[in-house]
Amino acid sequence: MFQKNQLLTLTIEDISDTGEGIGHADGITVFVKNAVPGDTCEVRILKAKKTYAFGKTERLIRPSAGRTEPLCPVAARCGGCQLSFMNYQEQLRLKQKKVQDCITRIGGFTDVTVEPIIGMDDPHAYRNKGQFPAGRAADGTPVLGFYAGRTHRIIPTEACGMLWPGHERILQAVREYLAASGAEPYDEETGRGLIRHVLMRKGFATGETVVCLVVNGTKIPVPEMLWEKLNKIPGVVGLCLNVNREKTNVILGDRLIPLFGKASVTDRIGDISFEISPMAFYQVNPVQTKVLYEKALAFAGLTGKETVWDLYCGIGTISLFLAKHAKHVYGVEIIPEAIENAKANAAANGIGNASFYVGAAEDVFPELTGKNPDIGADVIVVDPPRKGCDEVLLSTMLKMAPSRIVYVSCDPATLARDLKILCAGGYRIERVQPVDQFPGSVHVETVCLLSNIH
């Protein structure tokens, strides 16, 4: 076993699921933050266990060819972008391998070749949403920032290299407001304090930006002081509160209180416009979202005659993308505000052949198709959160036996697990296409086409 603070020379051989470099010494696996496969470095042990240890790079002895200098000044400390020190080509190679490994090892599909990942031309400043926790610096000044990796220690951040240029003015305005108003940042340890997170989202196609403070309460002191500052920032159209009084690390609570201006942002993808509540999920990378949805549309193979289900539909983005090419689209989503947006979005775009239902997909889909056997399903699209699809949902999908299933996934491991179940039930994998929605991070999106072999 190593000792804390011990120094050792290590060659980084691989990378973990959470983005740490992996090396071995004396039979012990060492995880090293901000290290890249191919680096040889002097590592200081931070935490030692019997079979593994965590360390940090003290000195780079020989850098890997895959290494780069991050543009972001807080990259070394911030836990947001785990791959900041890896050049973009290497990041893409890593994600490609991750998807292929999951398909082969977890799914057991030894004859499926994953298609080359679609990356970005410019993998910076792509995000349309930021969420910054509030806290206090050692000297008591209110700070906004990001969590350091593996901890809830806040790294004060003036700007994030992945967000749009100009977002730093919002952070500055909120910081000034916190200092001047005396509004207390929330303390995770004690559960006391008011301001938990600052959330901001911008519609890249419209420029509209909404700021939402997540608060442990229902009011903030002198809200007009904050609005006066925010209102001067180009693009900012609204300020609202989200109420989260739970002692939890889930960011959002379930109540929204509009304060000034609009509570939702409008954005466009292709020729469809969307209203997006701060409570609703919306893809964070508009450039790659269009690529992803176009792939989903192509995989769906619609001719205008199909009944399509879009399960885990959010604000109806994929549903409306597909509706123009289908007979009817049914969307199901668990967040009520997202479904309100979805219905309004269908109406605003003059799309009459899409219906939306609130509830868990695993409850609503069996119930509706059970009650109305005539509805049927020619194509099913699923786009679940990282934990993947519910088993009841998978078995209902098999029972409905659509010709094609389009599975959009943000976690290749649960994708592979679910594909195994669907393929055992009579489907064949036709295409597996990774799309890089999250440059800088370890995450990867994949869209997969399955066809019914019966």
Query: Is residue 317 a contact residue for ligand SAH (CB under 6 A)?
Result: yes
Query: Is residue 309 a contact residue for ligand SAH (CB under 6 A)?
Result: no
SS3 at position 106: helix
Query: Is residue 312 a contact residue for ligand SAH (CB under 6 A)?
Result: yes
Kindly tell me which residue out of 313, 346, 397, 448 binds ligand SAH, with binding defined by CB under 6 A: 313
Where b means 16+ CB within 10 Å and e means fewer, 344-357 reads bbbeebebebbbbb
What distance in Å separates the CA atoms of residue 296 and residue 407, rounded to the nearest whole number? 8
- Which of these, 201, 377, 399, 197, lies nearest to 300 by C-alpha position? 377
Active-site residue, from 160, 410, 423, 448: 410
What is the closest distance, in whole angstroms, from the C-beta atom of residue 343 to ligand SAH in the complex? 15
Residue 259 tokens read as 């304060």
Query: Is residue 80 a contact residue for ligand SAH (CB under 6 A)?
Result: no
Residue nearest to ligand SAH (CB): 314
- Which of these, 445, 450, 429, 449, lies nearest to 98 by C-alpha position? 445
Binding mask 324-353 for ligand SAH (x = CB under 6 A): --------xxxx--x---------------
Q: Is 448 a catalytic residue?
A: no
Q: How far is the CA of 396 from the CAs of 382, 414, 421, 427, 433, in angstroms?
A: 13, 18, 12, 14, 25
Task: Name the residue nearer to ligand SAH (CB basis): 142 or 314.
Answer: 314
Query: Is residue 208 a contact residue for ligand SAH (CB under 6 A)?
Result: no
Q: Which stretch binds ligand SAH (CB under 6 A): 96-104, 211-219, 348-356, 359-367?
A: 359-367
What is the closest distance, in whole angstroms, from the C-beta atom of residue 319 to ligand SAH in the complex? 8
What is the closest distance, in whole angstroms, from the C-beta atom of residue 165 to ligand SAH in the complex? 24
Kindly tell me which residue out of 225, 284, 360, 398 binds ligand SAH, with binding defined by CB under 6 A: 360
What distance in Å separates the CA atoms of residue 30 and residue 15, rounded to the nearest whole number? 11
What is the closest distance, in whole angstroms, from the C-beta atom of residue 341 to ligand SAH in the complex? 10
Near ligand SAH in 254-283, by CB under 6 A: 281-283
Which string of DSSP letters, residue by residue, matches 306-357? -EEEEES-TTTHHHHHHHTTSSEEEEEES-HHHHHHHHHHHHHTT--SEEEE
Query: Is residue 314 a contact residue for ligand SAH (CB under 6 A)?
Result: yes
Query: Is residue 385 a contact residue for ligand SAH (CB under 6 A)?
Result: yes
What string of H, E and C letters represents the secondary structure of 400-447?
HCCCEEEEEECCHHHHHHHHHHHHHCCEEEEEEEEECCCCCCCCCEEE
Q: Which residues are catalytic?
A: 410
Residues of the shown chain interacting with ligand SAH in the complex, contacts defined by CB under 6 A: 281-283, 312-314, 317-318, 332-335, 338, 360-362, 383-385
